Each structure stands twice: as C-alpha cells, then as structure tokens.
A = this chain, B = another copy of it.
Amino acid sequence: MTTTTKHKIAKDRLLNTIHETAAKFGAHGVWGKGITETGVCRLALSDLDKQVRDWFIEETKSLGCTVKVDSVGNIFAEYPGQKKGPPTAIGSHLDTQPTGGRYDGIYGVLSGLELLRTLKDNKIVPQYPIAVIDWTNEEGARFPMSVMASSVWSGQVPQETVYKLESVTDDKPVTVEHELKRIGYQGDVAASYKENPIAAHFEIHIEQGPILESEQKKIGVVTSVQAYGWYKCRVVGKASHTGTTPLANRSDALLAASRMISKGNDLAHKHEGLFSVGVLTLEPGVVNVIPESVLFTVDARHVRDDSLATMVAEAKEEFAAIAKSSGCSISVEFEHIYTSPAVNFHEDCIASVRQSAIALYGEDQVRDMVSGAGHDSCATSSVVPTSMIFIPSRDGVSHNPEEYSTPEQVAEGFEVLLGAVLDYDSKRTK
C-alpha cells in the first residue's frame, strides 16, 4: 500500500494484471529476455479478444458490477453509486495492432478495473455509478476502421456500415457482424449514447510520442486531439534519358516531388503543425531514366481546424508553383482522401485531471498536451464531457512490441485517473 493519496492503493496490482492478461491473451513479439518483454497480438473479435472479454466480465462482476454488452460488442461494466444516473465512465480498448505492445488501450481499460478494485478495497461508494468500458476495435487493424464501435455508440458511424466491414487480416475475410455473433458479443443493448448513456468519459493512455519523456514530465493533461487531413499527390513530368537530357530540358517528377516534400516541412514549421509523407512510389524506376511520375501521400495535422485548412491550402499553392518552376512541363494533382476534425475536450473533465495530477506531483511534473493520434475519447467527446491522461512512452514507441512505460509511470498515471474520476464524481449534481 502506498500513501501518496488518501486512499489505500494495492502496489503493483495494476501492473501485474497488465502482465498476466498479456501472458494469457496474446503475448507476441519477443523483444527482451524478461518474461514480460513481449508485445501483444490480440485482434478485435478474435478468439483471444473473446477470452480477454470473458475474463474482464468475470472480474468486474466479481466486484459487484452489472455488465451490459451492446450490439457492436462494447462492454459496459457498471459499479454502483449512491444515486441512480448515467455512470461516470472510464474507457479504452483491449484489442491491439498485429505488432502491438502491452499498454496501448489495455492500460486504459485495466486502469478502470483497478479503479473499481480500489473503490471496493477502500469501501468507497461514489455519488454516481462508475462504468469501465471496453470499446470494440479501436485499432482498425483487423477490420479497417479505427475508433470503430465507440463511433457507432456516439452516432457518428451507422451500425450497418460497421456490420458489413470485412476483415483484412484473415485468409478468408469475415464481417464484423459475423465475428460478433461467432464469439457471442453481439449484445442486446442498443449501441447508442441516447439509449445507453454515460455522464462523462475519462481515458488514460500511453502518449505514443516522445514529449513527456524528453521533457521529463510524469503526466500529460490532454486538452484536445489535433485535426488531420490525408491527401494523395500525383506529380507528372516526362521520362527521358539521364545522360542525353540537359538540365534545362528536363521535367523531372521526382525532383519536383522532393522540393514539395521539403516545402511541406517548411510549412509545418511556419504554421506549427505537422506535415509528413509516408508513402512515395515512382515510375518507371530505372537508374538512367528520369522519373515520369511520382505518387506520394500527405498526412497534415494541426491543433486547429482552420490552421490545418490554411496550411493545406498553402501547400497546394506552393506545390503548383514548384511544379511550374521545376521543369518544362510538370503537373501536380492534390487529391483529398479524408479529414478528421480537431477535438477539444471538456473543461470540467480537463479540470478534474489537472487538479488530480498537480495535487499528486506538482505543476512541474504536469503539462497540457494535444493528442497527436485518435482515440475512443474522440468519439465520446462528440456527445459527452471527455478528457484524457497521458503517461510517458519510452522513446515515443508504440504499435510495436517494444512499447514500454515504467512500473512507476504506470502507477502514477493510475493515481491521477483515480483522483480525477473521484473529483468529477464528487462535483456531479445530476
């Protein structure tokens, strides 16, 4: 038992649960000699996912929870409060990437479980019920839609769309609906925030980036999630012989694309956003032939929707200018694929997290953060007060077996979550 908060906390129990469930339900990807030095491969709605769900329901029921499963497999384990009403919720996901670690998502759900265990140990009865939620298919790895089932619950994606999604990791593709039925997790509760409401959503997660570690902070108070836009750029020049074509006569698609990529980075600095090119292919791809065409993707991000739009608009203009100035005849097309708007979390939830973190570790150890990646909290935030807590990720590594946070970081984040949820509960008036 530690004495850093007013409540008794079982030292190492959360970490042990993380390691035990990893060992039982999908340990995969050895990166070190230690028994816990593997990642986890637990694809959504797989047999391993069914096993961890069964275990989670058993554990929460044993604490006195009532458990609901909705029609897209989201599990709501509700711990009773003094009054009736929609629960204050703690949610994340138990599915992983194929090359996943043992913290991404899992840490959030198991911290919720640990919170319920701590309530019971301390005989704390919250004002209102507290629910722990396991959202189905946050990763979008097996079924290609991330933040899938929380988006159905929040009304942003139709259930029918999700039911028809086919797996991309099975030899014979199967649908979400098929797999929900097969593992027995197509529940009878409507997947809807209206019919199955919660009062608020808290999510604790590893940062998946290097900021907390590099600044040696313990806790990130996540105030928002940045907007992002995905685009395809096609640059078309003219193939010609590298030896016989003078510089002035070239229409080198790769030279133009290279200048665009470099300019994109300049624009990211200028606008304090992000600009990344992860995919680039070219044709014809011969040592002594100047590339005729280049196709590359753009992943542009910004905390503000309007700044993202401005940055992308400038990129389009600059790319067109680069095409014009880079050769005799080069064109560039900028195709929009997808935009995810910025999410701003709720000030009440943020305040509960901030006061909890500062009370525990002091202002020096805490900083506000913008999440770079999407989470289930993006979906819930569209309909209920939401916020998130980040703990440091070693080297910023995630979606990789080597994903790691120290035992102390895992414990410290949990205590912030406990303080934040109890604070929020205490302030609820309905």
- Report which A residues bind B (CB closer than 8 A): 207-211, 214, 226, 228, 230, 240-247, 249, 252, 254-255, 257-259, 261-262, 265, 268-269, 274, 276-280, 282, 285-291, 297, 299, 301, 371-374, 396-399
Complex A-B, nearest 5 residue pairs according to Cβ-Cβ distance, in ascending order: A209-B244, A243-B372, A244-B372, A258-B258, A242-B276
Q: Could you say which of B214, B261, B274 contacts A243, with CB atoms under 8 Å apart?
A: B274
A307 to B397, CA, bound (A): 45
- Chain B nearest CB from A248 CB (Å) reads 9
* A245 contact set on B, CB distance < 8 A: 209-210, 274, 372, 396
- Chain B nearest CB from A377 CB (Å) reads 14
Q: Could you say which of B241, B257, B290, B301 contacts A242, with CB atoms under 8 Å apart?
A: B301
A299 to B278, CA, bound (A): 25
CB distance A287 to B258 under 8 Å?
no
A75 to B278, CA, bound (A): 53
Q: Could you say which of B247, B280, B372 contacts A269, with CB atoms under 8 Å apart?
A: B247
A299 to B240, CA, bound (A): 13
A157 to B245, CA, bound (A): 28
Closest chain B residue to A273 by CB distance?
Answer: B247
Q: Could you say which of B249, B254, B259, B279 contacts A277, with CB atoms under 8 Å apart?
A: B254
Among A255, A274, A277, A288, residue most surrounded by chain B Cβ atoms (within 10 Å): A288
Closest chain B residue to A277 by CB distance?
Answer: B254
Closest chain B residue to A254 by CB distance?
Answer: B277
* A252 contact set on B, CB distance < 8 A: 265, 276
Q: Could you say which of B208, B243, B285, B397 contacts A279, with CB atoms under 8 Å apart?
A: B285
- A243 and B373 contact, Cβ closer than 8 Å, known pairs A262-B255, A279-B286: yes
Closest chain B residue to A279 by CB distance?
Answer: B285
- Chain B nearest CB from A231 CB (Å) reads 10
A58 to B418, CA, bound (A): 96
* A243 contact set on B, CB distance < 8 A: 209, 226, 228, 274, 299, 301, 371-374
- A278 and B287 contact, Cβ closer than 8 Å, known pairs A209-B246, A265-B255: yes
A242 to B258, CA, bound (A): 18
* A285 contact set on B, CB distance < 8 A: 278-279
A268 to B210, CA, bound (A): 39
What are 19 sample pairs from A and B whose C-beta atoms fall under 8 A apart?
Answer: A208-B241, A210-B245, A211-B249, A228-B243, A240-B397, A241-B398, A242-B276, A243-B301, A243-B374, A247-B274, A252-B265, A255-B262, A257-B258, A258-B258, A259-B262, A276-B288, A278-B289, A279-B286, A280-B282
A397 to B269, CA, bound (A): 41
Closest chain B residue to A276 by CB distance?
Answer: B242
A398 to B211, CA, bound (A): 53
- A246 and B211 contact, Cβ closer than 8 Å, known pairs A254-B261, A287-B297: yes
